[in-house]
A and B are shown apart, each in its own frame.
Chain A
Amino acid sequence: MNGEKLWKVFQRWEADAEAAAGDETSSPLPRAGMSRRTFIELIGFSAAALAFSSCRPPEQKIIPYLNQPVELTPGVANWYASTCGGCRAACGVLVKVRDGRPIKLEGNPQHPLTEGGLCAVAHAMVFDLYDAERLRQPMIGSQGADWEEVDRQIIETLTTIKQSGGAVRLLSSTINSPTSREVIARFLNQFADGRHIVYEPVSTAAISQAHQKTHGVAVVPNYRLDKARLIISFGADFLGTWLAPVQFTRQYARARNLQDGRREMLRHIQFESRLSLTGINADARVRVSPAEEIAALLLLAKRVAEKRFRHPPAELRSLDETQLPERVRDAVERAARQVWQWPGRSLVISGSNDVDVQCVVNFINHLTGAYGQTVDLRAPTNQNQASDGDMVQLVKEMNEGKIAALLMVGVNPAYDYYAREDFIRGLSNVPVKISFSPRRDETSALVDYICPHHHFLETWDDAEPVPGVFSLNQPTIAPLFQTRAYQESLLRWSGDERSYYEVLRQHWREHLFPRQNGTTNFDEFWDRSLQDGVVVLTSASASTTIPRFTADEVGAAVRRLRARSTEMAESLSVILYESVALRDGAHASNPWLHELPDPITKVTWDNYASLSPKLAEQWQLEEGRVIRLSKGEVSLELPVLIQPGQDDRTIAIALGYGRTKAGRGGSYVGVNAYPLVSFERGTFQYLTHGITIEKTPHRVEFASTQRHHTLDGRPLIKELTLAEYLAEDGDQDQQRARSWSIWEEYPYGEHKWAMVVDLNACTGCSACILSCQAENNVPVVGKDLVRERREMHWIRLDRYYRGEADDPTVSYLPVMCYQCDNASCESVCPVLATVHSSEGLNMQVYNRCVGTRYCENNCPYKVRRFNWFQYPHSDPIANLALNPDVTVRTRGVMEKCTFCIQRIEEAKIRARNEGRPLKDGEIQTACQQSCPAGAIIFGDLVDRQSRVARLRRDKRGYVLLEELNRRPNITYLARVRNREEA
């Protein structure tokens, strides 16, 4: 018998029973049998003994530092300014570091572009840092190796290439770090034929190519929404995914802000065929087919040109206007009139990656005087530097065997290149393949050496998203694994033994320090920049004059577009777009992003072919029916999602899904739609035609978090037009008739917490959901449990369609716990696990909760979440991301939003320790802090002058389901649409 077994009593019985087995007659029971009663008795004894022996404190260790770091106080978070590496927009972040672990990203309010805003992807990046599936060491082939060996082998092969003069290519995504670009250039200079190629799976190369044609500069301008009074967008999802959504959302929300008595707001007209996040926020959304979108753009160009020139270009003059439906023509005519209402303050943009379309856009912006105002060419953005032609050329050269070595940074073409087989075949022809991917993904699995790059929270770097705006990226944790910054690898292989940090400082000393005049001491400049995270310098490269416009190419572009629009008119189009959560698919290994409901369809963990109700009816397709889309050799099977508001000749499919090597969480989720991308007219096209559709017998059930689509006549969302809003005069008396209540009112003393959500600002970007998830240790439940309505997000964004199913108006309502004064949940809890606090919160006491779920059933707003299972917290690395200030809930416990009570308590303690009252705005909830639109305002109602108290008196204010007399403490400010009055 093994003496180490825990069940000592049971063990002894086993030994006895074995001894007794020899003498069958002496045994009171048959050998094989034991009565249930005996079994339970024995188990009972054993359990009792076990319980007694365990009644001793479990021995826990406390391991203090050997040498206390000066800046670190145990239990107190440090905040470091840094730069987000989630995408190429390079937003400013503040990293919350608790006891040496980064646990939360928040927006840096000092950043001139993002001003404290952050998107959903950025919040999810903390999960990526603690992803145990990241590579832990460099790899040679599929074998782990050490850095010395890898360096030795790579330097050896690169030296051979240097001598033979072979072609070396460094393929990267957009790199907006000036120092990294310098390191790359220096590395490539060693070779006779070394080139840096920028590849973006979702490219905006057409914008820079069009500017090359019309202005002679190949750049993507910086669009200044904050200066615009009118935006006319042709399918550009600038609030969701296009270029720099956080920056645009910030500017957009500010230009539409009606708080504190403002009376003017930006007008936004959107022409689009799929229903995008940007489209639903527009004051006027015009549903068009892709062909009509082009025709509408041309008509707008014609109208604008007619106003400016006596003789507009012939190609425009002869434009056939009748091919556009009257509805669209009307909308264009109206838009064209409004352009002149605010001269120079209008902005026309297009999400198309077609050079001709962008040429016409430039033409219009030139005529309306937008250049120099809303379109900044002098300080163009670095946020998408894709060069599609170079990438295609590279793959061609690879296939021809002309490339001697290929190095890849932040790209995954074996997954997201439109002709991935070509790329993979080409890759096998390249003798030396090196990837800096932190994971073994589709591409890095095919290379000779993987030299894993750090997570951006572990590394030094800088960024210059827009000329003159420099931000620093500093490590906030020592590398968890044996990874190395790719810049450092390149330095090693360039024969430079310095660390990247030294190179970075050197670069700043030489190039940035001379451009500032705040201080004469470089260390002081560096320290201040590092502390602020961002420094704005007058741009050295920015020219003072706007490049001249030449209309030479416009005529030909119009001609081609006219032909294409006619040719496309009757055919079915497929639009490929980036989803708000997954974007281009680079972070598809992140389950937080997969479980983030799509802002419009509310579907998680899947992509789909969305089509209009009319088209579905015509083809007799029901939701969830799997269809096969084929074009040439490409064939995809996708479930159908019926999307109101979509054009009747368009199918929309999200890119970024269908990864095959994205780890446990992200592999084989959805279908890869990149094979439908094509390379035509010098750029990648995300619009395709000539698709055949076949019905399959399969059906799937979507994991959707919202199944109802309409308001059913209830006044849950209030909307008004700007004219209506302005017509209502003065402050509306907020003294609503208070219905009689059987409850006594609570006496509130020191504080009474409340929130205001400005629906006019909220765009539905969903950043708040993930910010809350990161702050409050909210678990991910997976596709099956979402299907069973057991998702755990504490905030949900309710989306409602109104009007015609073909072309509805869409509205959002962010719903979290309302902390009602007359809370339904409190009166039904049998164990007092949810009770009212003296500060007006509905507290949820996890350790008291026994899980009856009465509160959840009684809550009219459905904001409570129940832990049906013990969600896994077994991964010691993933657990490092948990916020120690928030209890991790176990199975059988109810949970919900409590206005980030841990932040309230922390701020209260700080204020009391310092012997001062709390300042208004000192406490920011997680959802509020990084809302790019600034839609959420939290504060104390006892302070009558607080911002939240003032906004609660706004005439747009209303509460949800007021007739129930729950007296919720979240007030919504009604959305205002700036419609042109007829």
Chain B
Amino acid sequence: MSLTTAKIISLLVTITGAVALLRGASFHWFNNHQGYAPAQPIAFSHKLHAGDNQIPCLYCHWAAEKSSVAGIPAASICMNCHSQIRKDAPEIQKIVRALKENRPIAWVRVHDLPDFTKFNHSRHVWAGIKCQQCHGPVETMERISQFRSLSMGMCVDCHRTHRVVTVDESGKPIITREPTREKLMASTDCSVCHH
């Protein structure tokens, strides 16, 4: 086989691979993981828990109102209910086994911001932002997936609309971010998220 053939073949392989990837459900442009829904070690259904059974988000993700991270619930939290309910279901048995063997469950991370971005859940929870505003209709998801882009544009769009700019007597702008009854106030300083 000549070198030209080699080149043609490698080009074809590249293109075929690219097309296959682009059409595939798991393809995403760099750093945009919208729609990412990896298989989890336990087939946990948010639809069943948060949707059908109406368990509040903060019951399991209790850290969201206290901390920068929402936290993945510890196995002991699952067992608060499942020590009584559906104890013998095969998926529940996985949790029981993990506890018995003292082997933590390694969930696959879905929502992941870059390391240079610091997002604080508690501030947003206390400001009254609904979880669904960023995470989408989690209560309808069998398997959790990333609903929005979680890009900087998405964050800033919201932060921009949550501040008031007025002008004082001398014509200088006054930026107010103190929360008022009508409006939640957010900052657009870079250092709010990047430090």
Contacts and interface: CB of A to CB of B under 8 A. Distances in A.
Interface of A: 8-9, 12-13, 16-17, 19-20, 26-29, 34, 38, 41-42, 45-46, 48-49, 52-53, 55-57, 59-68, 73-76, 744-745, 747, 749-750, 835, 837-839, 841, 843, 845-848, 885-888, 898, 901-902, 905, 909, 912-913
A49 B106 contact: no
A68 B13 contact: no
A747 B174 contact: yes
B interface, size bucket: 35 or more
A55 B30 contact: yes
A61 to B, nearest CB: 4
A246 B7 CA distance: 71
Q: A27, A34, A48 — which one has the most chain B CB atoms within 10 A of its CB?
A: A48
Contacts of A68: 73-74, 76-77
Interface stretch (B20-28, B45-53, B131-139): B20-28
B14 A49 contact: yes
B115 A888 contact: yes
Contact of B21 (A20, A46, A52, A888): A52
Contact of B10 (A9, A56, A67, A74): A9
B56 interface: no
Q: Which 7 pairs of residues, A with B, have the shortest CB-CB distance?
A: A75-B67, A68-B74, A75-B69, A60-B109, A9-B10, A837-B189, A65-B74
A38 B5 CA distance: 13
A905 B118 contact: yes
A74 B76 contact: no
Nearest to B117: A847
A835 B107 contact: no
Given A59-B108, A63-B107, 8 more contacts: A42-B7, A60-B112, A61-B109, A68-B77, A75-B68, A745-B172, A838-B175, A841-B189
Nearest to B21: A52
Given A55-B29, A57-B33, A62 B126 contact: no
Contacts of A28: 2-4
Contacts of A8: 13
Contact of A885 (B73, B112, B118, B126): B118
B90 interface: no
Nearest to B98: A66
A55 to B, nearest CB: 6
Interface string B114-128: 111110101100110
Contacts, number: 197
Given A13-B10, A20-B2, A26-B2, A64 B192 contact: no
B75 interface: yes
A19 B1 contact: yes
A846 B72 CA distance: 29
22 contacts: A20-B2, A29-B3, A41-B7, A53-B17, A55-B30, A56-B28, A57-B38, A64-B74, A67-B74, A67-B75, A74-B63, A75-B67, A76-B66, A747-B173, A747-B174, A747-B175, A749-B176, A845-B190, A846-B116, A847-B194, A887-B115, A902-B195
B175 A749 contact: yes
B189 A838 contact: yes
B18 interface: yes
A849 to B, nearest CB: 10
A902 B118 CA distance: 9
B18 to A, nearest CB: 5
Nearest to A748: B175
Contacts of A46: 10
A289 to B, nearest CB: 52
A909 B127 CA distance: 10
B49 to A, nearest CB: 16
B10 A45 contact: yes
B141 to A, nearest CB: 17
A969 to B, nearest CB: 15
B63 A838 contact: no
B13 A49 contact: yes
A64 B4 CA distance: 53
B11 interface: yes
Contacts of B6: 12-13, 16-17, 42
Interface string B148-183: 000000000000000000001000111111110000
Contacts of A888: 115
Residue of B13, B14, B117, B178 with most partner-chain A CB within 10 A: B14
B84 interface: no
Given A749-B174, A846-B116, A909-B122, A898 B195 contact: yes
Interface of B: 1-7, 9-11, 13-14, 17-18, 21, 26-30, 33, 36, 38, 63, 66-69, 71-77, 98-99, 102, 104-109, 112, 114-118, 120, 122-123, 126-127, 168, 172-179, 187, 189-192, 194-195
A60 B179 CA distance: 36
Contacts of A901: 191, 195
A745 B173 CA distance: 10
B28 A55 contact: yes
A903 B172 CA distance: 30
B17 A12 contact: no
A804 B161 CA distance: 62
A585 B100 CA distance: 48
B193 to A, nearest CB: 9
B9 to A, nearest CB: 7
A27 B21 contact: no
A909 B195 CA distance: 15
Contacts of B26: 56
B21 A66 contact: no
Contacts of B118: 885, 902, 905
Contacts of A55: 21, 27-30
A62 B107 contact: yes
Contacts of A67: 74-76, 99
A8 B14 CA distance: 10
Contacts of A848: 190
B177 to A, nearest CB: 6
A619 to B, nearest CB: 52
Contacts of A886: 195
Nearest to B95: A66
B44 to A, nearest CB: 12
A49 to B, nearest CB: 5
Contacts of A841: 189, 191
A845 B73 CA distance: 33
B189 A48 contact: no
Contacts of B66: 73, 76
Contacts of A38: 3, 7
Given A49-B14, A53-B17, A65-B104, A912 B74 contact: no
B189 A913 contact: no
Q: Which of A61, A62, A846 has the most chain B CB within a 10 Å cutoff? A: A62
A29 B4 CA distance: 11
A795 to B, nearest CB: 17
Nearest to A34: B3
B195 A887 contact: yes
B195 A20 contact: no
Contacts of B71: 64, 73-75
Nearest to A745: B172
Contacts of A76: 63, 66-68
B106 A61 contact: yes
A61 B107 contact: yes
Kindly name the residue among A27, A49, A841, A846 whose own CB sees the greatest number of chain B CB atoms within 10 A.
Answer: A49
B2 A53 contact: no
Nearest to A29: B3
Contacts of A64: 71-75, 104-105, 107
A744 B172 CA distance: 9
Nearest to A836: B189
B113 to A, nearest CB: 11
Contacts of B11: 45
A912 B123 contact: yes
Contacts of A885: 118, 195
A59 B116 contact: no
Contacts of A12: 6, 9-10, 13
